[in-house]
Amino acid sequence: MTTNPTLTHTQSEENVIHQLLTRPLPDTADPIVLSEACAAWVSVLVETDDRETHAALCERLLHGLNQLRAHCENDLPSYLVEQVVAGEKLNACVPECWQDASLQVDYAKALTHAIAGKTLPTDVAKELTKLLHDMVWLLADFVKESDMTAR
């Protein structure tokens, strides 16, 4: 009986990172696809110590956040306008003061720039990367939640 070769953990990890860094993100990607891609990049970013991979992930994350920010500049969806006009409070996974997705994206971009700049002490950069991870995941949840509310 022959066995098929299996990937070691390192080979599997390298393959995932390679796919994250090389898979194109279409200019037509919707906010959910963009937020999920950003969440994937930041999930690997928080776990990597390799400088080149770190820099490449920060670059991809900034690109994705910029695309997501462009979506935020569009008018509010009609269902949100109706809720605001009616005075309804929006129930969301983020505090009311953060219910502007553009604000969340801008915070994430600022953190990414700070981390990518390589001027911070290592321990500070690690903690800010963890904060960035949590912010991007909250943003992704908020984007998905907004989409679900719209349906």
Question: Mean pLDDT over all residues of the chain?
Answer: 79
What per-residue confidence (pLDDT) applies to 25?
85
CA distances from 125 to 31, 86, 113, 149 (A): 27, 43, 11, 35
Confidence grade of residue 52 (pLDDT, cut at 50, 70, 90): very high
What is the CB neighbour count within 10 angstroms for residue 24?
6
Cα distance between residue 112 and residue 62, in whole Å: 7
122-138 confidence digits (pLDDT tens): 999 999 999 999 999 98
Task: Return all residues near 138 (Cβ < 8 A) that are at least 6 apart.
Answer: 93, 94, 104
Name the residue among 93, 85, 98, 72 with its Cα closest to residue 141.
93
58-95 confidence digits (pLDDT tens): 999 999 999 999 887 664 455 544 554 454 555 566 55
Residue with tokens 């003061």: 97
105-125 confidence digits (pLDDT tens): 999 999 999 999 989 999 999
CA-based R_g, the chain, Å: 18
What per-residue confidence (pLDDT) applies to 95?
58
- For residue 11, pLDDT beyond 70: no
